[in-house]
Homo-oligomer: A and B are copies of this chain.
Amino acid sequence: MIDSTGNTVSTGLNVNSIRADFPILQRKIHGQNLVYLDNAATTQKPNQVIKSLTDYYEQTNANVHRGVHTLSIEATDGYELARSKVADFINAPRSEEIIWTRNTSESLNLVAATWAENNVVAGDNIVITAMEHHSNIVPWQQLAFKKGAELRYFAHNSDGIIDLEHAMTVIDERTKILSVTHMSNVLGTVNPISELAGRAHDVGAVIMVDAAQSVPHMPVDVQDLDADFLAFSAHKMLGPTGIGVLWGKVSLLEDMPPYMFGGDMILEVTYEDANWNDLPYKFEAGTPNIADAFGTGAAVDYLSRLGMKNVWRHEQDLTAYAMERILSLDTVKILGPKDPSMRGGVISFIHDSIHPHDLGTALDQQGIAIRTGHHCAMPLVRSYDVVAAARASFYIYNTKSEVDALVNGISETEGYFNR
């Protein structure tokens, strides 16, 4: 069902009322209404999240832990409450399994520099897919160089669907860690994590999930996935910039050395030595990003209220519509799965005559924000024999009429360059 303004209302999301929560959607860009389709890069923030930051700074702000004064106690309680909200959101068994980091990238680096540093030896291998974001390639590349280990990739077909059979052979007894994106930020592909986890565990490896593009968009349950580590960023799920999450199993986290040293991560220090605080603090050196933890809690509340199933259905609906409309242009090729039900709300595409950069500038003139370039996945984008692609990506506030604006915008651009 589509209402008079072209907004989807059948998916359980009331998009009109959602849009009212996002002040930035009132902005004019070159005199046009903003059509924000760069959500895979970062999402916009609702009033509820912005207000949680303002409230924190206006009423609660203090350094956390060990403070006996009221503000410090309130700040500590709120900081830990946010942690337990995140734990619930991904169904983590225990709140102390949630480590606050800066972003997905830091979460991945943390595991590479501690767990993998301690467990990977020469001759071992590390397995990733050929569709990873740079943040889930380079830490492993560097670790493999350092350790004399091998970095292995497993393939996907031209539709961007990973080849499970190939994966099963690439993962072998010398595999120590498998690190896989849950959803590709270029192709939109959703990968079969639990099957891969099964294989990883069979050979005694652990599996890390790059959930930067999944936790914001679909129900994610770390226990269902059978994952060992999982990483995501608040800024891609309505939350503030500067804060991300590493989830890990207690048994693994406990055996890992700290990543950074100082401040809160310490139990006792002498001039000669130091020992470490309990989880999760062992991994949180220095004053944490307290305000943005509050903001992340508010983002989780917002999404939980909508229901992640509804969020996912809304995006799938929009994606199906957008693929159909974009392909109707005939001048555009879409990367990734052809079947919209196999992908999330990310559509990377290539125009047969207009370079993504020129298209991006032209769409911006029309108020439409898309991303262009390699999307931090150079090897993948190059495997399509291009050096850049255009990408439109959706979130809870996007509508079918915005998809129409995109498609019209591309047509207008064609008209402009063919004048």
> Which residues of A come within 8 Å of B, CB atoms?
23-24, 27, 29-30, 34, 36, 38, 41-42, 44-45, 49-50, 53-54, 57-63, 66-72, 102-106, 108-109, 112, 130, 133-139, 141-142, 153, 233, 235, 240-244, 260-263, 266, 268-274, 285-292, 357, 360-361, 363-364, 368-373, 376, 378-379, 382
* CA of A289 to CA of B291, assembled, Å: 12
Looking at the assembled complex, report how far the CB atom of A133 sits from the nearest CB atom of chain B, in whole angstroms.
7
In the complex, which residues of chain B have a beta carbon less than 8 angstroms from the beta carbon of A67? Answer: 38, 41, 369, 371
In the complex, which residues of chain B have a beta carbon less than 8 angstroms from the beta carbon of A274? Answer: 134, 137-138, 141-142
In the complex, which residues of chain B have a beta carbon less than 8 angstroms from the beta carbon of A58? Answer: 23-24, 50
Looking at the assembled complex, report how far the CB atom of A219 sits from the nearest CB atom of chain B, in whole angstroms.
24
Question: CB distance A57 to B106 under 8 Å?
Answer: no
The 9 closest A-B pairs by CB, nearest first: A105-B286, A242-B289, A135-B262, A68-B360, A69-B369, A41-B63, A138-B261, A105-B262, A23-B58
* CA of A106 to CA of B371, assembled, Å: 31
In the complex, which residues of chain B have a beta carbon less than 8 angstroms from the beta carbon of A70? Answer: 29-30, 364, 369
Can you list 20 A-B contacts (CB < 8 A)? A24-B58, A27-B71, A42-B62, A49-B57, A53-B57, A62-B369, A63-B235, A68-B364, A69-B360, A69-B364, A69-B370, A71-B369, A106-B286, A108-B262, A109-B262, A134-B261, A134-B266, A138-B274, A233-B286, A271-B379
Considering the complex, give the chain B residue whose CB is closest to the CB of A26: B58
Question: CB distance B241 to A287 under 8 Å?
Answer: yes
Considering the complex, give the chain B residue whose CB is closest to the CB of A66: B373
Question: CB distance A363 to B269 under 8 Å?
Answer: no
A262 CB contact (under 8 Å) in B59, B134, B372: B134
Question: CB distance A57 to B360 under 8 Å?
Answer: no
Question: CB distance B105 to A102 under 8 Å?
Answer: no
Looking at the assembled complex, report how far the CB atom of A386 sits from the nearest CB atom of chain B, in whole angstroms.
15
In the complex, which residues of chain B have a beta carbon less than 8 angstroms from the beta carbon of A71? Answer: 24, 27, 29, 34, 36, 38, 369
A291 CB contact (under 8 Å) in B233, B242, B272, B361: B242
Question: CB distance A261 to B109 under 8 Å?
Answer: yes
In the complex, which residues of chain B have a beta carbon less than 8 angstroms from the beta carbon of A235? Answer: 63, 287
Question: CB distance A241 to B134 under 8 Å?
Answer: no
